[in-house]
Structure 1
Amino acid sequence: MLERLNQALDHLERHLDQPVDVAELARIACTSEHHFRRLFSALAGMPLSEYVRRRRLTVAGAEVLAGELSLLDVAVRWGYGSNEAFARAFRAVHGVGPGEARRTGAVLRSQPRMSFRLVVEGSSSMEYRIVEKDAFRLVGRKARVPLVHEGMNPAIVAFVKGIDRETVGRIEALSDQEPRGIVNVSDDLAGDRAEGTELDYWHGVVTGADAPEDLDSLPVAAGSWAVFQTSGAFPQAVQYLWRDVFTQWFPSNPYESRPGPEISQVRVSADGTQADAELWIPVRRV
């Protein structure tokens, strides 16, 4: 898997001044576009779109300093329709505008070419199980919130606190299958999982029952789910489990992620510092 990912990155580098063809990158990596984006983001620590932007502006920076092309020619080559748009993007990465950089020989920032390699980290294993589930519904309350990679998500905390106990009790009573009880669900994530990207957050249950009219409902198709468990500091243990699934488990197993909601069930200690968690990721065998 890592070798195929590196082949995809080599292809990207050879066509860096052209529109990104994610379908072709995924084909080279022998995976779906959905999984390619997810895996790249987890391994690289940034979305594919952000990496491409940084690499383009790194090469553009070298061309600005070389002085062989006009600033407009450099801008157009790297996909910017005007000097103004190029200058804004250039300054966001390098801290100075292209004109200033050319005049003063300013120090610029570089995004190195990325490649992935296997690093052996200890001898611990990841325990998982594959569950085949029939179609079901998510029923509960949902809200559109920004993605937060580490630490508590203030928008989610405020949303959950705003659900009254009577409603939570009615939702929980609808639970009739695994994972049982109240679950936390992320779905319909826009873009490449960058910090601040919006997603649908659900506070609800997995059920075969119809939803009451005053509750939100999402039909989920039948399919396979990879289920993982962890215990540790809250909320870091849950966030690190998701990271480890994509950086360690997927590259080592014949599965890829498929579109669908990611479900977690978290039991937090009385003092709010520790948690036991179970993570359900929709997968398919490859």
Structure 2
Amino acid sequence: MDWLERVNRAMDYIEENLVDEIEFKEVARLACCPEYHFPRMFSSMTGMTLSEYIRRRRLSLAAFELQNNSDVRIIDLALKYGYDSPDAFSRAFKSLHGVNPTAARNKGIELKAIPRLSFQISIKGAVEMDYRIEVLDFEIEIVGIKQKVTTKDAFQVIPKLWGEATESGLLHRLIDMSWEHPQCKMEGILGVVGKQAAITDEDFDYLMGCRYTGELPTDMEKIVLPKSTWAVFPNISEAWQRLYTEWLPTSGYELANLPCIENQLAPDRVPSSELWVPVIASK
């Protein structure tokens, strides 16, 4: 099953469960994409968050029901589409459609239809995407401090963790350790996400560390990654935006069961950061 088919399978699940609870973990599983990364992938492809898309689809269906069934009650629609009260539903409905649900019953009222999304291959490539494949035929030892992160809040929480690490002095400790025993390749300050690329749990451990082969500090932990192959992209934020939509679908690779690693290099380096993505050849 190719990448395009997997993503559309996830969209089918959303469409089939618009009047039920939608599990984001299941959406990510069907797309064969880490739950941590799927919302970023979706936003980069569509220009809206996954939650916003689901909300707009539900309100679009609610408008159809109001137009086609004059007897449907507002409170029933509110509960059907996941709202706690008719007032909350009415506010959301008016925000999208510009009129309240009662007015939407009238013929001649202009409403917004939000079509379901499906993904197709499009021609891109006007801007090249730099990458390199690194085959590391040795184990990688990474030492650092772990923090528990809730998956759904990860993109807001992790930058704050690094800010706290700067204030507490942890970041400078890691910098000193990386200079004490310098390593080739993945030599920067590292953010290790969970245990594998396919994060499906509600939370995961995020390790802030560096490659280090000296004596393990008493307040730190060590993880060891096996020999592995990595796709390495310059500039972390740009790489995340384009990884799933442009590189992965046509690369001949799939994600491996190792963590993705954000590698922060020295400020005078160009680029100043790299995204290391564990990969295996597609079957």
- Structure 1 and Structure 2 fold alike (TM over 0.5): yes
Name the structure 2 match of 1:263.
262
**Secondary structure in 2 matching 1:16:** coil
Please give the residue correspondences for 1:10-29 in structure 2 after superposition, counting only pairs within 5 Å: 10-20=12-22
Tell me, yes or no, if the aligned pair for 1:135 and 1:223 is still in contact at 8 Å. yes
Kindly tell me: are residues 135 and 107 of structure 1, through their superposed partners in 2, closer, same or farther at Cα, counting changes over 3 Å?
farther
TM-score, normalised to structure 2, is 0.67
Structure 2 unmatched runs, 5+: none
Tell me, yes or no, if the aligned pair for 1:91 and 1:98 is still in contact at 8 Å. no
Aligned match of 1:227 in 231, 251, 254? 231
User: Is 1:70 aligned to residue 73 of structure 2?
Assistant: yes
Structure 1 unmatched runs, 5+: 231-236
User: Is 1:185 aligned to residue 187 of structure 2?
Assistant: no
Kindly tell me: are residues 28 and 212 of structure 1, through their superposed partners in 2, closer, same or farther at Cα, counting changes over 3 Å?
closer
**Secondary structure in 2 matching 1:95:** helix
**Secondary structure in 2 matching 1:131:** strand
User: Is 1:278 aligned to residue 283 of structure 2?
Assistant: no
Name the structure 2 match of 1:147.
155
Count the aligned residue pairs.
265
Please give the residue correspondences for 1:86-101 in structure 2 after superposition, counting only pairs within 5 Å: 87-88=87-88, 91-92=91-92, 94-95=94-95, 100-101=100-101
User: Is 1:238 aligned to residue 244 of structure 2?
Assistant: no
Kindly tell me: are residues 218 and 4 of structure 1, through their superposed partners in 2, closer, same or farther at Cα, counting changes over 3 Å?
same
Q: Percent identity?
A: 24
| Worse-matched range after superposition: 164-173 or 254-263 | 164-173
Query: Shift of the alpha carbon at 1:69?
Result: 1.2
**CA deviation vs aligned residue, 1:256-279 (integer Å, no higher than 9, x gap):** 334624222333239xxx744322
Query: Shift of the alpha carbon at 1:16?
Result: 2.9
* Separation of aligned partners in 2, 1:42 and 1:13: 20
**CA deviation vs aligned residue, 1:230-277 (integer Å, no higher than 9, x gap):** 3xxxxxx4311221222211111233334624222333239xxx7443
**Secondary structure in 1 matching 2:228:** strand
| Worse-matched range after superposition: 18-27 or 44-53 | 18-27
Query: Shift of the alpha carbon at 1:90?
Result: 5.5
The one-letter code of the counterpart of 1:226 is W
Name the structure 1 match of 2:249.
251
Please give the residue correspondences for 1:74-153 in structure 2 after superposition, counting only pairs within 5 Å: 74-80=77-83, 82=84, 84=85, 87-88=87-88, 91-92=91-92, 94-95=94-95, 100-103=100-103, 111-117=114-120, 118-122=122-126, 124-132=128-136, 136-141=140-145, 147=155, 153=159
**Secondary structure in 2 matching 1:120:** coil
TM-score, normalised to structure 1, is 0.67
Tell me, yes or no, if the aligned pair for 1:172 and 1:205 is still in contact at 8 Å. yes
The one-letter code of the counterpart of 1:57 is L
* Separation of aligned partners in 1, 2:29 and 2:219: 44
* Separation of aligned partners in 2, 1:4 and 1:285: 17
